[in-house]
A and B are shown apart, each in its own frame.
Chain A
Amino acid sequence: MSSPPTEDSAAQPAGIVERLVRDDLDRKRFLKMAGSAGAASFGAFVMAACGSSKKSAATTAAAPAATTSAGSSSPSGDVAILNYALTLEYLETAFYEKVIAAGLFKGRVGSLIKDFGQQEASHVAALKAAVMKLGGTPATQPASKFPIENAAQVAQLAYTVENLGAAAYLGQAGAIKSPEVLASALAIHSVEARHAATLATLVKKSITPDGAFAKPADMSTVLAAVKPFLA
């Protein structure tokens, strides 16, 4: 069992994210820390996340395979990925809760937003269960903050967040070891894409902003992008 990170896990998450984006953390170290039972807090998780600019999280299987030779089994690699996804889903769920509470959308759009919020919550539940099934400890919910000003601004923010979420899942597909975990990640990935496409019609932006092939986003990119939403 690896020791917890030296930084206080209750330290400012924003500072931790900055550090992670700056630092050249080794992926092996990340997977070892994030996959262990000791890295349950979001701060610790983010600290351990992949910040390397040399390797994206969407690299070949060689990267997660490296952790297996160090003694930690491949499930801890998948646990780390699941906890990363869980963290994003926590943020999306919190976002939609705020949006729904603000009562900005009515009628069919309001109903769709409610659906999306419920679906993100179900993703949280599924990912938590997946982590536990693999013997890991689920990441805890981070404190978050989202600007909620008006319907147009919120819809645009939702479009951005959902596109990012879809890209995040796509970025991890190649790193997942278990076919079962991959199947579940893909079952969620396409739903995030559906959310994004729906929001595209609301904000009158492209259904397919990347064109015919969706682009993956690596872990450091995604975590840097969500940094403004960490309270």
Chain B
Amino acid sequence: MSNNTPTQTTSHGLANPELAAFEVHGMTRSSFILRGALAAGAFYGTAAVTPFVSQALAETGGGDVEILNFALTLEYLETDFYTVKGSSLALSGQAKAYAKQFGAEEAEHVAALTAAIKSLGGKPVAKPKFAFPASSEASFLALASVLENTGVGAYNGAAPSIQSKQVLAAAGGIVQIEARHAAAIDLLIGKSPTPSEGFDTPLSKAQVLAKAGPLIKA
């Protein structure tokens, strides 16, 4: 698969919510099909996919690399959250155990996504600086729930746009872990570990950035 450096780099751009409206240079055929399919309404019962209709994939090979870099940014965020923020708070018991385990797993996701981007000839985004508004175990866990559930939605939202089967397999293997993390955290804080209807709603990049963007500082 060919790869040009994406003209729309995302490292500094992600601090800017305007990046939510991606500029692209035309559409691939697969994105036309995707737009049609999603515009017709997903039959799993949610209507939260219309943002995809207004976003198109870059025509040249930047599509999968761009998606992977978006995922990489989220994984950097989660790793930092669990390892740096987590150790700065006096976590105990299950919260502390999860922070350690999940932080290690998110770090593995960072490594895998970085390697995947490089193998596609792309440039992995640099690790951003983050700021997490959490000063107690309770607020830490509440934010963990937001981040993990957003991660599930982000991967599920991006996956149908992925062109490479290998990249899709990697994304699938990762999103399942995010869902497991999300359920564990939600159980711990007394929330339902599952979406009530039984389907995880995919999120658009704009929706993900609305949650994650404010945490990214540079």
Q: In the bound complex, do residue B194 and residue A116 qualify as a contact, i.e. CB atoms below 8 Å apart?
A: yes
Among A116, A183, A189, residue most surrounded by chain B Cβ atoms (within 10 Å): A183
Contact between A115 and B192 (Cβ–Cβ < 8 Å)? yes
Q: Measured between alpha carbons, how far is A197 from B175 in the docked complex, in Å?
A: 13
Q: C-beta contact mask, A131-149 vs B, less than 8 Å → 1, else 0?
A: 0010000000000000000
CA distance A195 to B174 in the complex (A): 16
How many contacts A-B (CB < 8 Å)?
A: 167
The distance in angstroms between the C-alpha atoms of A216 and B169, with both chains bound, is 9
Least CB distance from B40 to A in Å reads: 7
Q: What is the CB-to-nearest-CB distance from B78 to chain A, in angstroms, rounded to a whole number?
A: 12
The answer, among B49, B104, B170, B176, for a CB contact under 8 Å with A189, is: B176
How many chain B residues touch the partner (CB < 8 A)? 54
Question: How many Å lie between the Cα of A112 and that of B33 in the bound state?
Answer: 38
Q: Is the CB of A213 within 8 A of B177?
A: yes
Q: Residue A16 at the B interface, CB < 8 A? A: no
Across the A-B interface, give the 6 residue pairs with the lowest CB-CB distance, nearest first: A119-B198, A214-B176, A212-B108, A194-B183, A190-B179, A179-B160
List B residues at the A interface (Cβ < 8 Å). 30, 33-34, 37-38, 40, 42-46, 49, 101, 104-106, 108-109, 112, 152, 155-156, 159-161, 165, 168-170, 172-184, 187, 192-202
26 of the cross-chain contacts (CB-CB < 8 Å) are A58-B169, A60-B165, A119-B197, A119-B198, A122-B197, A123-B198, A129-B43, A130-B43, A133-B43, A179-B34, A179-B37, A179-B161, A180-B38, A180-B160, A186-B159, A187-B44, A190-B178, A193-B177, A193-B183, A194-B179, A194-B182, A197-B180, A207-B183, A208-B181, A212-B112, A214-B177
